[in-house]
């Protein structure tokens, strides 16, 4: 079990103390290996035995997981390792993750972390470089190089034990190379949930190819973790932050200079079977993928059906500060942003998700930043908003997010053809100020649900009562009923005396009912 031996030993001690306290998989595992739990001791006797292990003068005997960690660390000293390091800009990673999470939020599918994307890039890079997946082992005393058939990616998880202490476990995602990003995201989250709930089984630890650990979560910039026996290498990610020499710079200064946040990647590998050039090329490949090369993000966007193009790394080419060319350039970019805003107001509805049965994302170049000569570096710079955000000036990122949320989410609005400018402004102000998303109270949501249930129940009644009759079913347009209900309730509140409905055949019986 390698680094997980401490976790397994703890489960074993729990099994020996109280077999019912561990899962059925673990009980079966121990029993298959001929281990039988003794009768459970009296609680008082167990407490006295535990107290006897504490020695005088503040010393404490390391046992269980802590003792196994000592053994693992001492065994790791016998592995001749070497380490490669690379500092990677994360601007593209950061911006594309934001787009991914906005889409996942609309679909109520959780979030993707930086680690999810880094781990997926790691798997993609390993699929191209199998030389980094080999491990060292001895067979009958002779040294051998072992090449695995699949990539079982180990993920270091900081889990809390029952006694409140914290410990590290490294379960693995089996055959990670066969998963698209949607499947990888689900498998990763399921593994983390099992680790934190104590639901890991022996199969979750078998045949780990390599490990990803993230000490950057606690602010560590660079780390050299120990490589456990049986694995090819371990990749550590550092904190995502601006370079140290720019920590005191203002956000506006960083955006003007085109300074990206960075992350340090360290690859510690078994030098007996892996050479330094292979590790260095692997980190270079990671760098290229996280920068958007070879359609890394484009494939993720396709897997998740995101209707936008991903951003990619380009150099920030601008005229020197303080020169007339720089001023002209800023005016030109401001004009391009206005064109970009108008494009969403005119064509944004083309990307809206309106089909409840199937969603086929499409991409329109006129709704992309690159069409207007704008790049990833312009996202942090402020431009005139034309009323989009409710403020005179805002960053291009904020402008883009409001436009996409308003016109490309669950409501498609085609209104710019209206000749009356006052009507257009009225619609635009109300849509962009609310992002076309109404905040419904619990009472309103329950009323909508009641109307939908009533409409569906009535359709089922007609279907079973009048089999074979032409009845112009409401199927596929059920939202018509709560919509009319809300409209008529609003009319009543405003003192309307009479409402005349003109409608097609579809759903008319349900409306009359």
Task: Please report, for the chain, the start and end positions of each structural domain, with discontinuous segments joined by +.
Answer: 1-78, 79-303, 324-434, 442-512
For residues 452-462, give the mean pLDDT.
85
Please report which confidence band the pLDDT of residue 410 belongs to, taking 50, 70 and 90 as the band edges: confident
Task: Please give the DSSP secondary-structure letter assigned to residue 474.
Answer: -
Quick one: pLDDT at residue 252?
85
Choice between 34 and 459, residue whose per-residue pLDDT is larger: 459
258 Cβ contact list (under 8 Å, min separation 6): 316, 318, 377
CATH of domain 324-434: 1.10.287.1150
Q: Which residues are catalytic?
A: 271
Contact 307, 408 (CB under 8 A): yes
Question: pLDDT at position 56, please?
Answer: 53
Prediction pTM value: 0.80
The pLDDT value recorded for residue 417 is 93
Q: Could you report the per-residue pLDDT of 363-391, keeping only the tens digit for each?
A: 788 999 999 999 999 999 999 999 999 99
Q: What is the average per-residue pLDDT within 462-469?
A: 76
Q: What is the pLDDT of residue 49?
A: 52
**Residue 202 near residue 23, CB atoms below 8 Å:** no
Instruction: Name the architecture of domain 79-303.
Output: 2-Layer Sandwich (3.30)
Confidence label for 90 from pLDDT (cuts 50, 70 and 90): very high
Q: Give 490's pLDDT tier (boundaries 50, 70, 90).
A: very high
Whether 320 shows a pLDDT value over 90: the answer reads: no
Same fold, 79-303 and 324-434: no
pLDDT, tens digit (0-9, with 9 covering 90-100), for 109-159:
889 999 999 999 999 999 999 999 999 888 888 888 899 999 999 998 887
pLDDT of residue 479: 83
pLDDT computed for residue 269 by the predictor: 92
SS (H, E, C) 33-50: CCCCCCCCCCHHHHHHHH
Query: What single string gives the DSSP state of each residue in 353-383?
Result: ---SS-------GGGSGGGGT--GGGGGSEE
pLDDT digits (tens, 9 = 90+) for 261-285: 999 999 999 999 999 999 999 999 9
CB within 8 Å of 191: residues ≥ 6 apart: 155, 157, 171, 172, 173, 204
Determine the pLDDT at residue 17: 64
Neighbour order of strands in the sheet with 262-270: 81-89, 262-270, 233-237, 210-213, 153-155, 172-173
* pLDDT beyond 70 at 66: no
pLDDT at 229: 80
Arithmetic mean of pLDDT over the chain:
85
Q: Which tokens is 17 given?
A: 């103390």
Check residue 277 and give its pLDDT.
Answer: 93
- Are the beta carbons of 274 and 232 closer than 8 angstroms? yes
355 vs 423, more confident: 423
Highest mean pLDDT among 1-5, 54-58, 201-205: 201-205
428 within 8 A of 345, measured Cβ to Cβ? yes
């Amino acid at each position: 079990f390698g680094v997980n031996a401490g976790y397994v030993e703890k489960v074993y001690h729990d099994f020996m103390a109280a077999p019912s306290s561990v899962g059925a998989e673990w009980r079966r595992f121990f029993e298959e290996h001929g281990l039988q739990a003794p009768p459970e001791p009296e609680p008082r006797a167990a407490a006295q035995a535990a107290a006897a292990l504490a020695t005088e003068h503040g010393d404490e005997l390391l046992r269980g997981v802590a003792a196994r960690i000592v053994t693992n660390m001492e065994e790791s000293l016998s592995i001749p390792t070497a380490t490669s390091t690379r500092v990677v800009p994360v601007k593209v990673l950061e911006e594309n993750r934001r787009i991914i999470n906005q889409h996942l939020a609309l679909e109520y599918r959780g979030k993707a972390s930086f680690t999810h994307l880094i781990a997926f890039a790691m798997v993609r890079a390993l699929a191209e470089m199998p030389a980094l997946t080999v491990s060292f082992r001895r067979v009958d005393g002779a040294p051998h190089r072992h090449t695995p058939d699949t990539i079982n990616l180990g993920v270091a998880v900081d889990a809390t034990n029952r006694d409140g202490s914290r410990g590290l476990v490294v379960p693995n995602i089996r055959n990670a190379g066969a998963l698209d990003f949607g499947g990888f995201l689900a498998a990763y989250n399921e593994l983390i949930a099992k680790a934190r709930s104590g639901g890991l089984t022996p199969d979750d630890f078998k045949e780990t190819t390599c490990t990803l650990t993230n000490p950057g979560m606690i602010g560590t910039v660079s780390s050299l973790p120990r490589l456990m026996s049986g694995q090819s290498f371990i990749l550590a990610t550092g904190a995502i932050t601006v370079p140290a020499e720019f920590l005191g710079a203002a956000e506006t200064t960083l955006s003007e200079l085109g300074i990206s946040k960075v992350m340090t990647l360290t690859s510690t590998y078994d030098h007996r079977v892996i050479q330094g050039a292979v590790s260095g090329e692997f980190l270079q490949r990671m760098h290229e993928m996280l920068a958007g090369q070879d359609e890394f993000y484009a494939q993720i966007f396709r897997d998740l059906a995101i209707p936008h193009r991903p951003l990619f790394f380009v150099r920030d080419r601008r005229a020197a500060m303080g020169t007339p060319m720089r001023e002209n350039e800023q005016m030109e970019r401001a004009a391009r942003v206005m064109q970009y805003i108008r494009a969403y107001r005119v064509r944004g509805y083309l990307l809206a998700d309106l089909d409840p049965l199937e969603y086929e994302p499409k991409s329109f170049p006129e709704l992309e930043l690159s069409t207007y000569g704008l790049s990833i570096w312009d996202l942090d710079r402020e431009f005139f908003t034309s009323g989009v955000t409710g403020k005179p000036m805002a960053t291009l990122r904020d402008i883009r997010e409001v436009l996409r949320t308003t016109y490309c989410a669950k409501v498609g609005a085609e209104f710019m053809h209206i000749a009356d400018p006052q009507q257009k402004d009225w619609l635009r102000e109300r849509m962009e100020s609310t992002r076309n998303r109404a905040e419904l109270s619990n009472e309103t949501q329950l009323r909508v649900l009641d109307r939908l249930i009533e409409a569906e129940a009535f359709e089922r009644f007609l279907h079973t009562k009048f089999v074979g009759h032409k009845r112009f079913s409401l199927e596929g347009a059920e939202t018509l009923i709560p919509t009319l209900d809300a409209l008529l309730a609003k009319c009543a509140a405003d003192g309307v005396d009479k409402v005349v409905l003109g409608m097609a055949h579809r759903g008319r019986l349900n409306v009359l009912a």
